[in-house]
């Protein structure tokens, strides 16, 4: 599974899509999609997944873009994104590409 596919799975789950739909859209085995979701707290119905994700983002546990676990350094400002790449990707998506 590529990083891009992981991000897509997460996005689709947050939009309330089922495993089957995601698997067929991304052309991945259903079991791969399911186990990825299990490992990353993306199980349950869409709204619940979205809510859990929101809480994790607010607590600074995961990257707002890709959902990767964030490592925090004591004494430093809390991060929201795991990398510059994710920050840019997120704002591109959420600003309709405008800068």
Q: Is 9 among the residues that bind Zn ion (CB under 5 A)?
A: no
Query: Binding-site residue total for Zn ion (CB under 5 A)?
Result: 6
Q: Smallest gap, in angstroms, from Cβ of residue 48 to Zn ion? A: 22
Give the residue with the Cβ less far from Zn ion, 18 or 66: 66
In this structure, what is the dihedral angle of CA atoms 65, 73, 42, 8, given to the nearest 10 degrees? 30
Among 18-26, 31-39, 44-52, 66-74, the segment contacting Zn ion (CB under 5 A): 66-74
d(CA 99, CA 57): 23
From the list 9, 19, 65, 70, which residue makes contact with Zn ion (rule: CB under 5 A)?
A: 65
Give the residue with the Cβ less far from Zn ion, 49 or 82: 82
Give the residue with the Cβ less far from Zn ion, 84 or 95: 84
Q: Smallest gap, in angstroms, from Cβ of residue 60 to Zn ion? A: 13
């Amino acid at each position: 599974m590529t990083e891009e596919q992981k991000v897509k799975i997460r996005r689709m789950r947050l939009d309330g899509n089922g495993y089957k739909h995601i698997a067929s859209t991304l052309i991945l085995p259903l079991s791969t999609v399911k186990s990825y979701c299990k490992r990353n707290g993306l199980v349950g119905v869409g709204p619940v997944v979205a809510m859990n994700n929101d809480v994790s983002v607010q607590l600074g546990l995961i990257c707002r873009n890709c959902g990767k676990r964030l490592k925090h350094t004591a004494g430093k400002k809390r991060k929201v994104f795991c990398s510059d790449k994710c920050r840019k990707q997120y704002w591109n998506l959420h600003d309709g590409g405008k800068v």
